[in-house]
Chain A
Amino acid sequence: MEKNGSTKIDIPETSRERKGKAPLLGGSGPGPGPAEYAKGAGYKKGIAIFDLILRISAAAAALAATATMGTTEQTLPFFTQFFQFQASYDDLPTFTFFVIAMALVSGYLVLSIPFSIVCIARPHALAPRLLLIIFDTLAVTLATSAAGASTAIVYLAHEGNSGANWLAVCQQFTDFCQKTSTAVVAGFSTVVLLIFLVVLSACALRKHY
């Protein structure tokens, strides 16, 4: 800075830019300069955009899982006097749980899209990101439990179990089995996308400016 005869008043912003200044603050050192602040905002905005894309895909996958499992119904073309050979998702309480849980998860994901947009608009805001990560973790648990339980029942329907004398029903209800398997696959893709969302939110929560 050149002295040209006029008095100079020291403004706090310029002293912050000089890295050599002894920190007033205890442990965190000198605060971020405007350049670092803007770079951090750009990084967080990128993460938020990726988050929005993943969230929309996860909502689509969850809706597909719900719809596929909810529309399973197969009636075999033969029947006896006492027995009607019909299979639907609500014959097995596990599949009912799957439909309800996936409906909840897809509803939550659709409702969380505005929060994701807020995170894009305001990259340094903490509250929406924290809210998203909390509910995303709960959604992971719910979706995984629904998918895991349904996998167990689908596996049993395909293979049966000799020890418990449980017959494999897939040999008769082929369409039903196929649809439920597809729904379970869609459920697991929702889970994988949700795990990515949680890790992304954790990366964006960092105050790394």
Chain B
Amino acid sequence: MKGGGLEMGTTTSEVAKSGAAKRGAAVVDFFLRVIAIIATLGSAIAMGTTNQTLPFFTQFIRFRAKYDDLPMFTFFVVANSLVSAYLVLSLALSIFHIMRSRAHASRIVLIFFDTGMLALLTAGASAAAAIVYLAHKGNTRTNWFAICQQFNSFCERISGSLIGSFGAILILVVLILMSAVTLSRR
């Protein structure tokens, strides 16, 4: 008796409307993925092409800053490239969802990988953000000097590359939530 009321009350028009809503959500999902690809790729390239050499030098200290001088930035570039590659591959699944609105198992697989990539991207972006903050402000207690005062353009580049990454994090969160809502509709 419980199940009867749920099913018998549905009409064909309601089912068709929810199918159209699912298809619309899948199209938005596709476009958001494309934007996230551009954002992560841009971040990886912006961080990966940092290279600033100051015009003076002494015998002992090297006045050159590159992204692989700090392992956190290397991790940032690697994480962004991985997420970018994953998003390109997941475009295929996204197109599949546009064509077939009632696919369930593939949506769960997509949510699983999206959440994993969200964690990876957030870890990379926040590690880089911590180092960028340190580079700007320094820390008196641990005697860590703020290197931004010398390496201006390096600092600007690394700070700017964080923006694309954080934008992609936001987009990934929206993608996961949209997939979950689509799963819960009939």
**Residues of A near any B CB (own CB < 8 A):** 12-13, 16, 24-28, 30-34, 37, 87, 91-94, 126, 129-130, 133-134, 137-138, 140-141, 144-153, 155-157, 161, 163-167, 169, 191, 195, 198-199, 201-203, 205-208
Contact = CB atoms under 8 A, between A and B. Distances in A.
Contacts of B71: 155
13 contacts: A27-B12, A27-B15, A27-B19, A34-B3, A37-B3, A91-B142, A93-B137, A134-B177, A134-B180, A137-B180, A163-B65, A202-B112, A205-B183
Contacts of A201: 180
Nearest to B66: A163
Contacts of A26: 11-13, 15-16
Contacts, number: 173
Given A31-B6, A201-B180, A203-B108, 16 more contacts: A25-B10, A34-B2, A92-B141, A92-B142, A126-B184, A134-B180, A145-B126, A145-B129, A148-B125, A148-B126, A149-B129, A152-B130, A156-B72, A202-B108, A206-B108, A208-B104
A141 B118 contact: yes
Contacts of B128: 152
A137 B184 contact: no
A134 B184 CA distance: 13
Contacts of B69: 161, 163-164
Contact-residue size bin, chain B (C-beta under 8 Å from the other chain)? 35 or more
Interface of B: 1-4, 6-8, 10-13, 15-16, 19, 61-62, 64-65, 69-72, 102, 104, 107-108, 111-112, 115-116, 118-119, 122-131, 133-135, 137, 139, 141-145, 147, 169, 173, 176-177, 179-181, 183-184, 186
A138 B102 CA distance: 26
Contacts of A28: 10, 15, 186
Nearest to B128: A152
A164 B12 CA distance: 66
B11 to A, nearest CB: 8
Contacts of B72: 152, 155-156
Contact of A199 (B4, B62, B112, B139): B112
Q: 9 smallest A-B Cβ distances: which pairs?
A: A31-B7, A26-B12, A148-B123, A145-B126, A152-B127, A163-B69, A149-B130, A148-B126, A91-B141
Nearest to B170: A141
